Chains A and B, each alone.
Chain A
Amino acid sequence: MDKPVAAKSGPASDARPPRAPRPPRPNYRQIHQFPLPVNVHHVPPVIPHNPLSLISVALSYLTFLISPPRQEVYSAYFDKTTSSIHVTDERSINALWQMGFFGKGSLSRSEPSWLAREKKRRGLHNGKTSEEMTRLRRTERRELKLERARMEKLAIEERLKAEAAAREAGVSEPLDQAAQSTPTDDTTNVTAATTEKFSLKKAKEARMLEEKKARELAAQNAALAEQNQPETSSNNKSVRFSPIVQKKEFLSTSPSSLQLPDSVVDNLDSDDFPNEEHLQLSNEEAFFLAYSLGALQIYDSPSKLGEVQSTSSITTSALLQQFCHHSFQPARDASASLLPDDPFMISYTVYHHFRSLGWVIRSGVKFGTDYLLYNRGPVFSHAEFAVVIIPSYTHPYWSETEERKNYTGEKQARSWWWMHSVSRVQAQVLKSLVVCYVDVPPPAASLDDIGALFGQYKVREFLIKRWIPNRTRD
C-alpha cells in the first residue's frame, strides 16, 4: 500500500536519480564579455596626485588621433526571396553571436553549432553541443516517466490482486457485508475479470510483438521494418509500461538512421568540409546593427550563384524602405508609400527601445509572443519577460475620419481569448507577460531623418498577470 503513494509523490522529488556531473561549461563570461559588437576603448584613469597618469591619458588620446582604431564592420546580404538577412562569413557569425547574441544559426536551434555537431558526428571533435545536451536530457526524462508509469501500473496490479484475494476470502465464508451490496459486488467482479483479461492480453501482445521483432531483425528486411514502424508506435501506448519494448524499438531505429549518412560521409574528406550553416538575422536585428551601431553593411544578394556581390552596400534609408515593404507577405511593391504603422516600424521601435536599455531581445515565437527579453544573454539566464506588441493610435489624426477610425479599431483589436491564452502560456513557462503598446504617429512628410521618424513613436509597457484572489488573501 505504500507503493502507490511513493510512486505518486516520488518522481517530482526523490525518485530523480542523481545526475551525472555535467562537463564544465565554457567560460561564457569571457566569451560574451562585450554586450554589443562595438569596440570600446577605455581611457586610462586620471589620478590627481599622480601627474604620470595625466601623461598616460594624453598618450592614449594621441595614439587615437594619429592612428584611430578601426571599427569592425561586418557584412551580410539581403535575400529577397526569403526576406531575410544572411551572414556567411565565419568571423562575422562568431562576432555577432558572441557580442550581443544577434541572429540564429540556419541549421541550429539558436547558436550556430552545426559545424561542431558535424565534427562530433564524424569523430573529429569531442565535447557536447547544446542540442545534444537537450537530447540527452529528454531521453533521461522519458525514461523517468516510463519508470513512473511502470511503478503505477505495478501498484494498481498489486492492489487488484489484493482485492481479488479479499473477495475470495469474502465469498468462501458467508459474511454479513456481502449482503449489503450485491449489485456493486457483481459489477466489480466483472470489471476485475475484464481487467485481468485485459492485462493478460496486453502481456501476450507484448510477447508477440517481441517475437515478431526478433524475426524481423533476423530477416534484416528494411522495408518490413519500416512498415512495422507505425504499428509499433500505435501499440506503444498500451505497452508503454514495458521498458524492453522501448529499448528494442530504439535499437532497431538507430542503426538505420545512422547508416545512410555514414556511407555518404565515407567518401568525403573528413577533415575538410565546408560549413553549410549561415547566420540568419531578423530584419530588426539587421537594421539595428546597420543603422544604430554601424557595425553591419548589407548588400543585395548575388542574383546568380558564383556572381560577385555588389560592391556598394544598401544605404540605411533604402534599407528601411526595403524592410518595410518586406514586412508584408508577399512583399509590397517598391513604389508603395511607407505607412507609419508598418509592422516593421512598430516592431523595430520596440526592438530598439529594449536594446537601448541593455536587454538582449530575441524572437519570442517559441512562446507565442513577439519578443523575449534576456538579461545579458540567453547563455546566462532564462528570459524573464515576454513581450507582445499592440499598436495604438492616440494621435487626433487617426480619429479624424470614420474610415480611419474603423481602420485603427481593426488594427488594435485583440480578443480576450487571445489575451488569456497568451498569458496562460507565459505563466506555464515562468515568464512575465509584457504588453507593449506602440503609439503610432500620423504619416510623416519625409523619411530623410530616420532618427526623428522613430522619435515620434512612443512605447508604453503594461505588465499583465493573472490575479488569483485565493493567493492574495494573506
Chain B
Amino acid sequence: MADADEDVIHAPANASTQPEVDLSDETQDFRFLNHLNFFADSSPGIPRRGEKDFEPNPTELQADVLAASRGAMHNALSYPRLHGAKTRVIAFYAPDGYVPPAQPDRAKPKAGEDGKSSESTPKPARPLPSSARISPDACVYVPSPKGQFFKTMGQADSSSRVWLLPEEALYLIERGSLDIRWPSPSAGPGEEDLSVPMSLQAAYACFMGRGGLTLERYSVYTGLKRLGYALVRAPGWCDDIEPQDTDIPDASQAAPAKLHGPGLAGILGSLFNWIHDPLSTASTATGPIIGTGIHRHYMDVYRKLAIIPWYDPVTAPERHPFDTSPPFRVVFHIYKPSTPFKKSAPPAPDFRIAVVSTRDQTTMPTMTQLGALLESTPLDPPRGEKMERMMYMRLRHGYRNVVMAVVDQGVVSYLRIADSAFGKEKLYENKGGPQGPKRSRTNQKPRKR
C-alpha cells in the first residue's frame, strides 16, 4: 500500500477539507453584490458567493446568470463615492514632515523642540500622548480626527492633531475616507478650509518612496488592511541601517553550536554502553556506527546513530532587528481584527511580516539571511495541550515564525516560515505510532492530515 500517496491527490475536493482554497484566487460571481445595500447601513453580514460553472454551456440559464453577475458588478462600481458631509475628514500635507505645534492655538504653552510637553500640560489627569512616538516620516496631519480608522492609524501630538504616515494617508485617500489638502502658503488657523485638495495621483507622487515606503510594502499594507488587520511599522522598517557587524554574530553563533551527537552526554553514553555491552565495536570512523555487538534496544541504536549536528532554535541567541540583511527584515507588525489593539500601547503582534520584491531579490534567502530573520523574532515555542499531544502540529508550528510577503510585480504571496527543530522530536521514542490510522481516510468523515 505504498501507493497511498497517490490517492491523496485525488481526494475529494471538498471545500471544507481542502486546506488551500483561496477564494480570492477565483473568478468571482458578482451577483452577491446585488444583495448589498449601499444606502442603508443595516447589513453587517458579508454576502455569500455564488456557485461556479466550470465550462460554458449553451443554456440560457448560464448566459442569464453571467449577465446578471456582470450587471451587479457594474452596478456596484457605478455607485457614486462621495465624501459625506458628516463623515468628511480633512487632512493637511506637511512636506517637511512632523513639526511640533508652533502656535499655542488652544491656550497651550509651546511644546519643546522634540515635542515632549507632558510636564507643561494643564491637565495632568489625562496624560497627553507623547509626541516622541510620532515618526519623522509622518507627513500628513488631521486636525480634527473622527471615525473608526484612527483607532489603529496615526499618532496624536500634543495639540491632538493626528499625524499619519505616508502609507496610512495613501490608504485613506485611496479609500475615499480622507481629503488631503495642499499646504497653503498663508496657512492660518481659520484659512485652512480654502486650501486646494490633493488628487490621488498627487498623493501617490508625494507619498510613494517617502520614508522607505515602496510599492511592494504598500501593496502588502493595503492588502492586509482591507482584510481588517491592523498594521504598524516594525523597528526594522529602515533599510539604511546595515547589519552592525556580520562577523561577530557569526562567531557567537558558531560558539554555542554544540554538537548534539557526541557531546559529554555522548561520551557518558558510550561509556555506559561499553559497560552495558562489552562486545560493542562501534566506530564512527569506518563504521558500523552502531557496532557489531549485541543491541539491547532500538533506542540505543538510534542514539548511537545521532552523529549529524543540527540547529537548536531554543539555544540560539536572539538578534537585534538591525542585525539582519535588508530585504529579509521584519517591516510590519500585524494584529488580527480580533486582537484588542491600542495605539498607545500596542500588544505583542500576532504576525511579523517581511516584504520582499522578487525583482530586486530574485533568489530565495540563504540560510544565513533566513536564520537572521527568524532569530530577530522572539521565541514562540509550541504551547498548549493540543500541541503537546500532536507531534506533527508541534513540528509545523516551530519555535520561531515569521511571514514573508513575496511581491512579484504587485502580486503578493505570503509564506509562513517556521523554525522547526526535527532534532528535538525523537520519533523513535514515540510509542504511540502514527497519529490516526491510515484507514481513517476511507471512513465517512475523513480527517485530512
Q: Give A contacts to B, CB under 8 Å.
A: 8, 11-13, 19, 25, 34-36, 38-43, 64, 68-69, 71, 109-111, 130-131, 133-134, 137, 141, 156, 159-160, 163, 188, 191-192, 194-195, 290-295, 315-317, 349, 352-359, 366-367, 372, 375-376, 378-385, 390, 392-394, 396, 412-416, 418-420, 423-424, 427-430, 432, 434, 437, 439, 448-452, 454-455, 457-470, 472-474
Enumerate chain A residues within 8 angstroms of B449, measured Cβ to Cβ.
Answer: 381-382, 384, 430
Q: Is B144 an interface residue (CB 8 A)?
A: no
Bound-state CA distance A273–B257 (Å) is 57
Identify A463's interface contact among B6, B14, B302, B398, CB under 8 A: B398
Contact with A along B41-52 (1 / 0, CB 8 A): 000000000010
Chain B, 375-409, CB within 8 A of any chain A CB:
392, 395-396, 398, 403, 406, 408
Cross-chain pairs A/B with CB under 8 angstroms, 20 sampled: A42-B297, A159-B59, A293-B289, A316-B286, A317-B286, A357-B426, A357-B427, A358-B302, A358-B430, A375-B430, A383-B5, A390-B367, A449-B285, A450-B287, A455-B307, A460-B311, A461-B420, A465-B418, A466-B415, A469-B227
Cβ-defined contact, B290 with A461, below 8 A: no
Q: Select from chain B the residue with minimum beta-carbon distance to A437.
A: B367
The contact string, 1 if C-beta is below 8 Å from chain A, for chain B 9-42, is 1111110000110111000000000000000000
Residue of A whose beta carbon sits closest to that of B285: A449
The answer to whether A68 and B414 have CB atoms under 8 Å apart is: no
- Would B59 and A160 count as touching, CB distance under 8 A? yes
Contact partners of A383 in chain B: CB under 8 A: 5
Main secondary structure of the interface of B (DSSP, over half): loop
Q: Which of B23, B337, B363, B422 has the most CB of A within 10 A?
A: B422
Binds A, one of B77-85, B207-215, B431-439: B431-439
A462 in contact with B417 (CB, 8 Å): yes
Across-interface contacts of A36 in B (CB, < 8 A): 298, 301
Which B residues fall within an 8 A CB radius of A?
A: 1-14, 19-20, 22-24, 51, 57-61, 63, 223-224, 227-229, 247, 250, 257, 259, 261-262, 279, 283-298, 301-302, 305-311, 336-338, 350-351, 358, 362-364, 366-368, 370-371, 374, 392, 395-396, 398, 403, 406, 408, 413-423, 425-430, 433-434, 436-438, 442, 448-449
Could you tell me if A473 and B19 are in contact, using CB atoms closer than 8 angstroms? no
Hey, which chain A residues are within 8 Å of B250, CB to CB?
Answer: 394, 396
Query: Bound complex: CA of A69 vs CA of B12, how far in Å?
Result: 51
Known contacts A416-B406, A458-B257; decide if A292 and B289 are in contact (CB<8 Å). yes
Q: Return chain A residues, CB-CB under 8 Å to B437.
A: 381
Q: Which residues of B contact A195 (CB under 8 A)?
A: 58
Given contacts A71-B292, A130-B3, A367-B5, contact A427 B395 (CB under 8 A): no
Q: How far, in whole Å, are A43 and B362 apart by their CA atoms in the complex?
A: 58
Q: Which residues of A contact B2 (CB under 8 A)?
A: 109-111, 130, 378-379
- With CB as the reference atom, state the residue of chain A lying closest to B364: A414
Q: Nearest 9 A-B pairs (CB), nearest first? A: A451-B284, A294-B288, A358-B428, A358-B427, A110-B2, A392-B367, A356-B305, A381-B434, A291-B287
